Structure 1
Amino acid sequence: MSVVFACLDADTLGGIQQVTHTLAQGLAGRGHEVHVIGLHRAARPFRYVERPRYERHVISSRPVGPQGPVARALAARRLRALLGGIRPGHAVLTSPSVVRRLDGVLPEAFHSIGQYHGSYDHASDCWHLAAIRKHYPALDQAVFLSEDDAWRFSEDALLPNAWSLPNPLALWPERTSALATPRVLGVGRLEGVKRFDRLISAFARSGVPGPWELHLIGDGSERERLRAHAAAEGVADRVVFRGPVPAARMTDEYLDAAVVGLTSDHEGLPVVLLEASAHGVPAVAFDVSGGVRSAGPVLVPPGDVDAFAAELGRLAGSLEERRRLGAAARERARAFRLDRVLDAWEELFTHLRR
């Protein structure tokens, strides 16, 4: 069958994009005809898959931003023409914005699946919940990242079509970290929502001595502000800004880590927690969603930097505890292996065809 994934921007460094390309490659490997569509060009493209088995398309040559009525009409015409040439099947719309953009454009021959990669709590704090209430009930299926979030959306947004499917792991590593390198790892876009300032503060307050370092992998507009924050916290010499790292090299980063830290304001089911777990690396995270809880990190109350610091210090001080939690995390991560998540997607496709 054909499967279409539509993103606002399919090639920027981000969780939605990473999950989309992982699923696309996996489903294509199982013999499906798969297309990944970016409604806009990525301003700074990031390559997730070296040899894609799926087709990639970009509708607008301009990055995501304000779009006038004429440009939107032209984009809708191009999108209709593209979709009209694809064998009918399933269309996965990866965000509320994409669901709105494809309203009236997606051919009726496609089963419509609306994803939401955030948590219920995040949606209720912004325009997303209203958009989900308005547009998702008309879709064939609404897909969320955890059973907890699916239940909360079905109750509050009155969704009769809620379903839960977790994010997948692109690879299952054969090796795990020895957890002996004195390194805390943070991975993600250096933007305000990720709140790496909190991770830096927690690292500074944890009492973890040198040679322990905090390595931040990723790039973004907050980089220089975070450098200044590390200096203000007195740990500038122990916070290492690594910049973006190719997806193919991330295994080496996890193998050199002893603890992973996640201090975001909100998350759905962050791939970094799944990847850390698969490599046997324990993680500390704020308890911000059912998806985060399902990944099994050490949880602390949202925004409580002192509690986060205490857990970092505890794990840094005990190799035995890191090994115990890392082994448990790897066992839990088996549920997110790509083959299992692809099985779940194919079960959904079968359900929709009945």
Structure 2
Amino acid sequence: MTSVVFACLDADTLGGIQRVTHTVAQGLAGRGYDVHVVGLHRAEAPVRYVDRPGYRHHVIHATPAGTGRISRAAARRERRRLREVFWQAGPGFAVLTSPGVVPRVTGVLPDRLLPIGQYHGSYEHARGSWHLRAVGDRYGELEAAVFLSEDDARRFAEQALLPNTWAIPNPLPGRPYRASGLDGRRVLGVGRLEGVKRFDRLISAFAEAVRAVEGERPCGPSYGETAAHDPAVGGAADGRWELHLVGDGAERERLRGHAAACGVADRVVLRGAVPASGMEREYLAASLLALSSEHEGLPLVVGEAASCGVPAVAFDVSGGVRSLVVHGSTGLLVPPADVPALAAALARLMTSGDERRRLGAAARAHAEAFRPERVLDRWEALFAQVTR
């Protein structure tokens, strides 16, 4: 039996790397692989991604990541524990899910486990951080370097001089979603309420779009109040457009204040966290998805919305975004950080149900390329190529 070991800095925190790792691990286990998921550190607030995992799970350190450099004694214990985990695996592959994992794992990998580097960010994000140099220095020596889109793989090959790049996207949820009718008046934003998501820009753009669509400055209840609405339908009870933000985080109160300053306190609904099991309902109630992040790898929320036939308006921040949002075909892209352009794109689709439905139908068809079985096929093709 072929083994696949996924090594993460932390395998159980709420996050995209972790979610994708457990999803792919479960899929490969279902295809007959002996799969192990390794977290170098424990999560402060562990999330259970798979109810009945078909793979084995290992945590190396009892301390969370980011608590400082580990001691020499802890590093020795880490190497010893990793060797014990790798001893349980047979011949196969070790997927190292981030640049920080690579130097800590490669030194103790047995020859029978071929190392594959994976990078969950975009080239644009790597270029602005230490990641680009780390990927360039370390991933070229591995059997393969896996990126989220063809565009990212090409740019890393050219700029980081990597000879071994592959493109494998993140998988969407396993079961098909139902299609939204796109008849409501709700713009949806999904993500942690943190600075990198730039929901402040989305609120500003939404306010401008409302002014353009309705011809006047929005007004309504005073700060801290919200218009009567039913979360199960697509807009406020009076038929006006709303922006619903699904997620929680440190920016919550600041965003509430920003909505009030923009005159849309009664139209911006901070929904808090919604469990994964409830997200289909959120997409079905939406007519548009908006993505305002400073950087993204391959944003699953865009693909999930597309699976419901909901088109996206997004800042063009990465090859992963462009692989999901084909401008003018499955959604609309605007230049990064360009709030007026984001407002204009929102207003364009808010005023045209026909265009929303055209883009949404194309987005739903396009999302089929990101179904789990398609993504697992690409992983197996990579395994076959590496061992050829």
Using structure 1 for the length normalisation, give the TM-score. 0.96
Q: Secondary structure at the match of 2:341?
A: helix
Per the alignment, residue 298 of structure 1 pairs with 332
**Offset at residue 305 of structure 1 (A):** 0.7
Aligned residues of 2:208 and 2:343 also touching (Cα < 8 A): yes
1:213 offset after TM fit, Å? 1.7
Residue in 2 that maps onto 1:55: 56
Indicate whether 1:67 and 2:69 are aligned: yes
Q: Which amino acid aligns with 2:336?
A: P
Tell me, in whole angstroms, the C-alpha distance in 2 between the residues paired with 1:226 and 1:2: 46
CA distance in 1, matches of 2:175, 2:309: 11
Mapped to 1, the partners of 2:108 and 2:270 lie a distance apart of: 43
User: Structure 2 vs 1, CA of residues 243 and 93 (structure 1 numbering), >3 Å: closer, same or farther?
Assistant: same
Q: 1:233 & 1:80 partners in 2: Cα distance? A: 56
Q: Partners of 2:45 and 2:242 in 1: how far apart? A: 29
Q: Which residue of 2 aligns with 1:256?
A: 285
| Equivalent position amino acid for 2:242 in 1 | E
Residue from 175, 178, 181 that aligns with 1:175: 178
For 2:110, the equivalent position in structure 1 comes to 107
Matched, 1:318 2:352: yes
AA aligned to 1:290 is G
Following TM superposition, by how much is the alpha carbon of 1:11 offset from its aligned partner in structure 2, in angstroms? 1.7
Conserved 8 A contact 2:3-2:93: yes
* 1:188 and 2:195 matched: no
1:13–1:189 Cα contact (<8 Å) kept:
no
CA deviation after TM superposition for structure 1 residue 94, in Å: 0.8
> Any idea what SS the aligned residue of 2:158 has?
helix
Note the residue ranges of structure 1 that are not aligned, 5 or more in a row: none
Question: Equivalent residue for 1:280?
Answer: 309
Shift of the alpha carbon at 1:73?
A: 2.9
Query: Partner residue of 2:165?
Result: 162
Q: Distance in 2 between matches of 1:11 and 1:181?
A: 36
Deviation string 1:105-163 (CA, Å, 9 cap, x unpaired) is 22221111101111111111110001011111111100011111111111111111111
Shift of 1:174: 4.7
Alignment pair present for 1:83 and 2:86: yes
1:125 corresponds in structure 2 to 128
C-alpha separation in 1, matches of 2:170 and 2:201: 25
Identity fraction in percent: 65
Post-superposition offset of 1:5 = 1.1
Structure 2, unmatched stretches of 5+, are 215-235, 326-330
Which residue does the alignment assign to 2:15?
Answer: 14
| C-alpha contact (below 8 Å) 2:171/2:375 kept by paired residues | yes
Equivalent pair of 2:188/2:245 in contact (CA under 8 Å): yes
Q: Distance in 2 between matches of 1:62 and 1:269?
A: 29
**Secondary structure in 1 matching 2:57:** strand
Separation of aligned partners in 2, 1:80 and 1:19: 25
Q: TM-score, normalised by structure 2?
A: 0.87
Q: Which amino acid counterpart does residue 31 of structure 2 have in structure 1?
A: R
CA distance in 2, matches of 1:72, 1:184: 48
Aligned to 1:140: 143
Q: How far did 1:103 drift? A: 3.0
Per-residue CA shift, 1:4-56, capped at 9, x if unaligned?
11111112222111211111111111111111111111122223222222222
> For 1:233-292, what per-residue CA distance to the aligned partner results, in whole angstroms no more than 9, with x for missing partners?
222222222222222221111111111111111112111111111110000011111111
Alignment counterpart, residue 337 of structure 1, candidates 332, 355, 371: 371
RMSD: 1.5
- Partner SS for 1:236: coil
1:93 paired with 2:96, answer yes
Preserved contact between residue 177 and residue 280 of structure 2 (Cα < 8 Å): no
Matched residue type, 1:145: L
Q: Which residue of 1 aligns with 2:341?
A: 307
Shift of 1:60: 1.5
- Structure 2 CA distance, aligned partners of 1:44 and 1:219? 15
Question: Residue type of the partner of 1:202?
Answer: A
SS in 2 for 1:97: coil
Deviates further, 17-26 or 211-220: 211-220
Residue pair 1:199, 1:261 contacting (<8 A) in 2 also: yes
Q: CA deviation at 1:172?
A: 4.2
Alpha-carbon distance in structure 1 between the residues aligned to 2:55 and 2:277: 19
The DSSP-based 3-state class of the residue aligned with 1:6 is: strand
Amino acid corresponding to residue 347 of structure 1 in structure 2? A
- The whole-number CA distance in structure 2 between the counterparts of 1:321 and 1:231 is 30
Deviations 1:325-352 (A, max 9, x none): 1001111111111111111110111111
Query: Runs of at least 4 residues of structure 1 off by over 6 A?
Result: none
SS at match of 1:302: coil
Q: Distance in 1 between matches of 2:111 and 2:208?
A: 56
The amino acid across from 1:268 in the alignment is G
Q: Distance in 2 between matches of 1:256 and 1:72?
A: 50
Q: Aligned pairs, how many? A: 354
Mapped contact 1:14–1:189 kept (Cα < 8 A): no
Identify which range, 38-47 or 314-323, moves more after superposition.
Answer: 38-47
1:204-219 aligned at under 5 Å gives the runs 204-207=207-210, 211-219=240-248
1:237 and 2:266 equivalent? yes
Question: What is the Cα deviation at residue 293 of structure 1?
Answer: 0.8
Counterpart of 1:24 in structure 2 is 25
Deviation at 1:309, TM superposition (A): 0.9
